[in-house]
């Protein structure tokens, strides 16, 4: 479904992605973790070309992102992206946030799009908020709407960039629950997150990034029980310590 | 008589102040001032939007074109733009150009340049995450601009727009130098005719300009409130 082959990316002199090789199969749930600044966001942002790659090959859903003639908008329509800061459209109601893209891109009628949106709102537990505006919602509610907005396009892949990092602790659970349900429904997901409980429960694979490289790649049991690299051990100790 | 002033010169010429020789002759006075302002306002809104969008375009040529126009106009006094148009437009377009339209073109050009800066700042001021969210759902950059960025940016721009429009209403008074019979020209005419009441006449038109500008400002406040995002309860 997603294949990185020797991918490099630079921000000026900064080598943010250094020889990334990664293959994510359909239906797989992959959690990406690692220290701040290690390139996790950049990695998942290359998948829908929010950050273009500089070198190597990146194939997503059969489309080659290094090819000029690839229709990027078409590719993006197949990939849902959930941001740390939610990024809901503040001037549109919850319902319109969700129906905009299906109506403009999939040419759905308002009725079809709204029916689908309402079903998704039900799924994320926010049916009663259909006419609310984003500023009237809590962070956890906004993030669940953002997930519904991504799902409205019937994506083949869902990408999450630290979806719970901007949330108050008491709201993290409700968002993770929606993501767990989604994972169990068979969605292909890549999740940048330090929520190790989520990783342990539903992910198939954990990827540990450091300085722009994939340092470690293992099923969760293995990753938690005996991480191979010192950096990963250090990181796990920090993240799992009672201080967190 | 108010405080030794005699406003009968105003009341005697009231209809001339407000509509000129209309309906027997052309519209003038306050009516023409408003006409010039509203038409130029509508046109410079479009002009400002076009120049502003060009200036944030991903196409270098468009960016260069808009910045050339904007910098050139911003380097000129409005009075000079009016003179240029007064002599240039008839030469270019023949004599079909009325003095009023000359003023409209000059005001539109001048105000568009300033409006485009407001538009540009408004667009740039919307967080990058909004565009990213929009294009991530598959919308093109143009669609993201049209459905997501501009609607938010335009709301934020309302106060600056109104500022610009209020200065434009006052700038229409410059039309009197090319013989357009808007409010200031009419006041000058009446003053030249009667010779006795300049204070009364110019107090009166000052009040009129003030009332128009005040009304526009209030209108914008009302509009701002109506369009404010629904705030948390
Ligand atoms: N647009 C950008 N321009 C320049 N440097 C950037 C940009 N985005 C990220 N970086 C830098 O690239 C590195 C990796 O960033 P990022 O992928 O956001 O890391 P992470 O998500 O793991 O914290 C960081 O050092 C960051 O400062
Ligand atoms: Mg990040």
Three-state SS for chain A is CEEEEEEEEEECCEEEEEEEEEEECCCCEEEEECCCCCCHHHHHHHHCCCCCCCEEEEEECCEECCCCCCCHHHHHHCEEEECCCCCCCCCCCHHHHHHHHHHHHCCCCHHHHHHHHHHHHHHCCCHHHCCCCHHHCCHHHHHHHHHHHHHCCCCCEEEEECCCCCCCHHHHHHHHHHHHHHHHCCCEEEEECCCHHHHHHHCCEEEEEECCEEEEEECHHHHHHCCCCHHHHHHHHHHHCCCC
Q: Do A73 and B138 touch (CB under 8 A)?
A: yes
Tokens of A38: 């290690």
A15 phi and psi angles, rounded to 5 deg:
-90, 90
Chain B residues with CB under 8 Å of A149 CB are 133, 137
Taking CB atoms and an 8 Å limit, are A91 and B134 in contact across chains? no
**Confidence at B147, pLDDT banded by 50, 70, 90:** very high
Packed helices B29-55 and B60-74: angle between N→C axes, nearest 10 degrees: 140
Residue nearest to atom 16 of ligand 1 (CA): A39
Average pLDDT over residues B8-17: 90
Share of chain A above pLDDT 90, in %: 95
Q: pLDDT value at position B98?
A: 83
The burial of B49, by beta-carbon neighbours within 10 Å (0-12 exposed, 13-18 middle, 19 or more buried), is given as middle
Q: How far is the CA of B87 from the centre of ligand 2 (A)?
A: 60
Q: If you search the block for the tokens 């040529």, which residue do you land on? A: B61
Contact B127 A87 (CB under 8 A): yes
- Is A46's pLDDT higher than 60? yes
| Cα(A47)–Cα(A31) distance, integer angstroms | 15
Nearest CA in chain B to A132: B230
Q: How far is B226 from chain A (nearest CA, A)?
A: 13
CA distances from B144 to B51, B58, B126 (A): 18, 14, 12
Q: How far is B39 from chain A (nearest CA, A)?
A: 29
Whether the pLDDT of residue B232 is over 60: the answer is: no
Domain positions in chain B are 8-232
Q: Which residue of chain A has the CA closest to B142?
A: A73
On the question of a cis peptide bond just before residue B23, with omega within 30 degrees of 0, the verdict is yes
What band does B229 get if pLDDT is binned at 50, 70 and 90? Answer: low
Q: Please state whether beta strands A14-24 and A2-11 pair in parallel, antiparallel, or not at all (unpaired).
A: antiparallel
Q: Does residue B128 belong to the interface with chain A, where contact is any CB pair within 8 Å?
A: no
pLDDT of residue B92: 82
Confidence of residue A49 (pLDDT cuts 50, 70, 90): very high
What are the pLDDT digits (tens) for A101-118?
999 999 999 999 999 999
- Which residue is closest in CA terms to ligand 1's atom 13? A37
Q: What is the DSSP-derived secondary structure letter of residue B233?
A: -
CA angle centred on A200, ends A172 and A147, rounded to 5°: 40
A209 alpha carbon to ligand 1 midpoint, in Å?
A: 13
Q: Which residues of A touch B155 (CB under 8 A)?
A: 91
Q: A165 alpha carbon to ligand 2 midpoint, in Å?
A: 10
- Residue of A26, A79, A80, A17 whose CA lies nearest to A52: A17
Both tokens of residue B53? 């969008």
pLDDT in tens, B72-126: 999 999 999 998 888 888 888 777 678 889 999 999 999 999 999 999 999 999 9
Q: Are A74 and A135 in contact, with CB atoms under 8 Å apart?
A: no
- Compute the distance from residue A41 Cα to the ligand 2 centre, in Å: 4
Whole-number mean pLDDT of chain A?
95
Is the C-alpha dihedral spanning A186, A190, A194, A199 positive or negative?
positive
Task: Kindly tell me the sign of the dihedral angle through the C-alpha atoms of A116, A119, A120, A126.
Answer: positive
Q: How confident is the model at residue B159 (pLDDT cuts 50, 70, 90)?
A: confident
Report the alpha-carbon distance of residue B233 to residue B229 in Å, rounded: 12
Digit-coded pLDDT (tens) for A154-199: 999 999 999 999 999 999 999 999 999 999 999 999 999 999 999 9
β-bridge partners, A2: A24, A60
**pLDDT at site B233:** 38
- Spatial neighbors of B141 by CB under 8 A, at least 6 apart, are B58, B131, B135
Mutant choice from A91, A147, A152 vs B, greatest count of B C-beta within 10 A:
A91
- The answer to whether ipTM exceeds 0.90 is yes
pLDDT at B89 (0 to 100): 83
How many CA atoms lie less than 13 Å away from B205 in the CB half-sphere?
27
**A41 pocket-lining for ligand 1 (C-beta < 6 Å):** yes
CA of A242 to the centre of ligand 2 (A): 23
A87 CB neighbours in chain B (<8 A) are 127, 129-130, 132-133
User: How sure is the predictor about B231, in pLDDT bands with cuts at 50, 70 and 90?
Assistant: very low
A-proximal residues of B, 67-126, CB under 8 Å: none
**If you average pLDDT over every residue of chain B, what do you get?**
90
pLDDT band at B68 (very low <50, low <70, confident <90, very high): very high
Whole-angstrom distance, CA of residue B135 vs CA of residue A50: 9
What pLDDT was estimated at residue B152?
Answer: 95
Token readout for B56 is 């944030």
User: Which residue has the least CA distance to atom 18 on ligand 1?
Assistant: A41
B58 chain-A contacts, CB cut-off 8 A: none
Reported as a pLDDT band with limits 50, 70 and 90, residue B45 is very high
Considering the domain B8-232 in this protein, what is its CATH number?
1.10.3720.10
């Amino acid at each position: 479904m997603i294949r990185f082959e020797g991918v490099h990316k630079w921000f000026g002199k900064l080598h943010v992605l250094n020889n990334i090789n990664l293959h994510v199969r359909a239906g797989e749930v992959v959690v990406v973790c690692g220290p701040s600044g290690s390139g996790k966001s950049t990695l998942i942002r290359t998948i829908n070309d929010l950050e273009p790659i500089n070198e190597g090959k990146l194939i997503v859903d059969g489309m080659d992102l290094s090819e000029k003639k690839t229709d990027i908008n078409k590719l993006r329509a197949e990939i849902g992206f959930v941001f740390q800061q939610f990024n809901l459209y503040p001037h549109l109601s919850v319902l319109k946030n969700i129906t905009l893209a299906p109506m403009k891109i999939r040419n759905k009628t308002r009725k079809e799009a709204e029916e689908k949106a309402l079903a998704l709102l039900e799924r994320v537990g926010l049916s009663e908020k259909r006419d609310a505006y984003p500023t009237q919602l809590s962070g956890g509610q906004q993030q669940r709407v953002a997930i519904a907005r991504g799902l409205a396009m019937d994506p083949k892949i869902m990408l999450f960039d630290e979806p719970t990092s901007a949330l108050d602790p008491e709201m993290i659970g409700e968002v993770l629950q929606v993501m767990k349900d989604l994972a169990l429904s068979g969605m292909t997901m890549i999740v940048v997150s330090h929520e190790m409980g989520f990783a342990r429960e539903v992910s198939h694979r954990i990827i540990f990034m450091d300085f722009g490289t994939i340092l470690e790649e293992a099923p969760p049991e293995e990753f938690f029980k005996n991480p191979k690299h010192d950096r990963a051990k250090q990181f796990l100790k920090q993240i799992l310590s009672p201080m967190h | 008589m108010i405080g030794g002033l005699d406003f009968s010169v105003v009341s005697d010429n009231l209809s001339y102040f407000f509509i000129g020789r209309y309906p027997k002759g052309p519209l003038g006075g306050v009516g023409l001032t408003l006409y010039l302002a509203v038409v130029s306002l509508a046109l410079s809104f479009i002009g400002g939007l076009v120049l502003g969008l060009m200036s944030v375009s991903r196409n270098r040529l468009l960016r260069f074109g808009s910045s050339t126009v904007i910098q050139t106009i911003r380097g000129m006094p409005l009075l000079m733009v009016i003179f240029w148009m007064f002599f240039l437009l008839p030469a270019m377009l023949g004599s079909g150009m009325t003095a009023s339209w000359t003023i409209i073109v000059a005001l539109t050009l001048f105000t568009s340049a300033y409006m485009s800066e407001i538009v540009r700042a408004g667009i740039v001021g919307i967080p990058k995450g909004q565009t990213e969210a929009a294009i991530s759902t598959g919308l093109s950059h143009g669609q993201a601009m049209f459905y997501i960025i501009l609607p938010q940016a335009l709301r934020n721009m309302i106060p600056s727009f109104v500022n610009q429009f209020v200065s434009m209403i006052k700038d229409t008074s410059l039309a009197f130098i090319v013989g357009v019979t808007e409010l200031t020209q009419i006041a000058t005419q009446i003053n030249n005719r009667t010779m006795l009441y300049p204070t009364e006449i110019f107090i009166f038109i000052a009040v009129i300009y003030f009332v128009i500008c005040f009304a526009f400002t209030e209108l914008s406040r009302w509009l701002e409130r109506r369009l404010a995002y629904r705030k948390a309860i």
